[in-house]
Every structure is written in C-alpha cells, then in structure tokens.
Amino acid sequence: MNSEPQLKRRRTEEPVGDQVVMHRSMLSRHSIVWKDMFKVPQPYEQNLVAGCPVIQLSDDEKDLEHVLGIFYDNLKGFDAENPISFPIVAAMIRLGHKYQLDYLRDMAVNILKSEYPSTLELWDEGFDRISRTCDDSYADIVSLASEFSLNTIRPCVYLMYVTKTSLSAVMSDPLLSREEVACCVLGRDKLVAWINSTYKSKHFTMAGRRQDCQNHEKCSPSRRMIFETFNLWEVEDGNITVFPTWNRPKSHTTCKACYRDLQTCYDEVRMSAWKMLPSFFGLPDWEDLKDFDM
Ligand SMILES: [Zn+2]
C-alpha cells in the first residue's frame, strides 16, 4: 500500500457504500479547503479502514466521481474544445465553489458562457454551432444558474429553455422552483408580447412611401409582405428558433433602397429585443449582471 496517508469516501454508515482511495497530497494540491483541513488533526483520523482514515462527504456521489476523475485523468488533458456532458460541468461548478477549486469552477462557467452568451455578436457566432453540452437539460441549467447566481448566462438560458419546452411542461417542471417557473412563464409572455407590439408599431412605417424608393407601386405591397415575414421567433416542426439573422426574402422583391430599409428595421428590432432580454425575465440590464453575486 502507498505509504502516504490515504483518504476514503464513504457515502453512508449502513451499508458502507462506495469508498474511494484518494491521495491527501493530491487533494491538498487542488483545494485550499482540503489543504487547511489536513493541517489540523481531525476526528476522522481515528476511523481507519485498512489503515486509511475515512472521511464522509455529503456531496453527490456522481459530482465527486466527475471532479476526482478530472484530477486523476490529468487536468491539462481536459480539452476545452471537446463536447462535455452537462453533469460534469455542473459538478465542476458545485464542488469548485464548495472546495474553492476556482480554476475548475471558472473553466466550467466559461463553457456555459460560450453556450449562453451575453452579447448578440457572440450569439450570432454560435448560432449554427453544435452545443458542447447536451441540449436536453435546459431545466437543469436554469436550476444551476439560479442556485449559483450565474447571472450573465441566465437571460440566454431562460430564452433557450422557454423556446425548447412547451408551456405546459414548463409549468409542471419538477426541476424548477415555483419562482423559476413563474420567471420563465412571465418572461416568455413578455417577450412574445413585446415582439408583437413592436412589429405592429413598425408595420405602418414599413408600408409607407419612402422618399428614395425607386418604384413605389411595386415596392409598397412587397415591403408590407416582407415585413410580415419578419420573425424573431420562428416555429418550425415544433422547434422554435430565436433571433435568427436576416435572411433575404425570395418571394417578394423591392428596390435597393427599400430592401436596405427593411434590413435595417429588422436589425434594429432584433437588437432592441436582445437588449431587453434580461428584463423579460426580471433581471437587471446586461451590463449590471454579475456572476456568483450571492
Ligand atoms: Zn422601393
């Protein structure tokens, strides 16, 4: 047996549960919390199994498996570009926060920030990108973001959740608190209402005559038709696509001046929707959102 003192993890008293042999030096190297704990004699030192002191941890078994696996599988080999399952990211944040494994916690937060950006430019960059974390766990992400006040990702996480989940599923989601459910339902409602009212208010402007229009007779109906196809919220085969970039409409044509005008209008509406996104979910403005603001 390794001469170095070793630790074992035991989940429960009866039955004994899983025990994992860990090196004290390895744990101390990664976490100041563990390092400090080992500096002073602890009651668990009396509780030996096969010569190793046993520490009982209250953490989730899977979380510990994920994080200790990263330690032993070499942290440097942990490729930040490869897909990673959300449970691993969540474990890095939960245990990283509890045991002050800041680099691990920050790495996980950065992965989530790249998936759920806080600027429209980054949103556009990742629009067609395949998610690095699994796509079917939005409620878990909402819950984690709320628990750890990962506020910079919350607007986007809420947006993705409410656009990929039916309203009835949101309202009965067992993973969310009543407050989270209320926040998501109200946010969805405010976003849709805002988009509808903005479109209506712009509609008449779009149908009107422009000074520089080269062919008003042809452009006027086309402008109106194109404007009506504007959609920040596209529903197709049950999937909702949010904030798509401007696509050149194929079925209606206008003069160049009108076309530019329509595109500008679309971009403006889209930008103001993004700016207001946090407020739909009851959050402060983008620039005032801070992570771990607990
Ligand atoms: Zn025109």
Q: What is the pLDDT of residues 242-269, one digit of tens each?
A: 777 877 666 678 888 888 888 888 888 8
Stretch 162-191: mean pLDDT, rounded? 92
The verdict on residue 24 lying in a domain is: yes
Task: Output the CA 264–ligand 1 centroid distance in Å.
Answer: 14
| 27: Cβ contacts below 8 Å, ≥ 6 apart | 7, 34, 35, 38
The verdict on residue 46 lying in a domain is: yes
Task: Output the CA 230–ligand 1 centroid distance in Å.
Answer: 17
The verdict on residue 163 lying in a domain is: no
Residue 146: predicted pLDDT = 92
The verdict on residue 33 lying in a domain is: yes
Domain boundary residue among 25, 58, 91?
58
Residue 132: predicted pLDDT = 59
Task: Output the CA 197–ligand 1 centroid distance in Å.
Answer: 25
- Rounded Cα distance between 105 and 183, Å, is 26
Task: Output the CA 205–ligand 1 centroid distance in Å.
Answer: 13
The verdict on residue 6 lying in a domain is: yes
Task: Output the CA 216–ligand 1 centroid distance in Å.
Answer: 5
Strands of the chain (E only): list them.
6-9, 22-23, 48-49, 52-55, 233-236, 239-242
Measured at the alpha carbon of residue 124, what is the angle toward residues 130 and 244, in degrees to the nearest 5? 95
Residue 75: predicted pLDDT = 61
Is the pLDDT at 124 greater than 80, yes or no? yes
- Rounded Cα distance between 75 and 43, Å, is 31
The verdict on residue 96 lying in a domain is: no
Task: Output the CA 223–ligand 1 centroid distance in Å.
Answer: 8
The verdict on residue 43 lying in a domain is: yes
pLDDT tier for residue 147 given thresholds of 50, 70 and 90: very high
**Domain, as residue range, for 232:** 185-280
Task: Output the CA 148–ligand 1 centroid distance in Å.
Answer: 51
Task: Output the CA 254–ligand 1 centroid distance in Å.
Answer: 5
The verdict on residue 84 lying in a domain is: no
- Predicted TM-score (pTM) of this structure: 0.80
Domain boundary residue among 58, 78, 101?
58
Task: Output the CA 192–ligand 1 centroid distance in Å.
Answer: 30
Residue 3: predicted pLDDT = 42
Residues 283 and 155 sit within 8 Å (Cβ to Cβ)? yes
Stretch 141-165: mean pLDDT, rounded? 92
Residue 176: predicted pLDDT = 94
Total structural domains within the chain: 2
Task: Output the CA 259–ligand 1 centroid distance in Å.
Answer: 7
Domain boundary residue among 58, 88, 106?
58
Residues 262 and 223 sit within 8 Å (Cβ to Cβ)? yes
Task: Output the CA 127–ligand 1 centroid distance in Å.
Answer: 31
Task: Output the CA 247–ligand 1 centroid distance in Å.
Answer: 18
Is the pLDDT at 66 greater than 80, yes or no? yes
Task: Output the CA 220–ligand 1 centroid distance in Å.
Answer: 7
Q: Which region among 27-36, 193-202, 245-254, 256-265 has the lowest average model confidence (pLDDT)?
A: 245-254
- For 152, the token pair is 């910079």
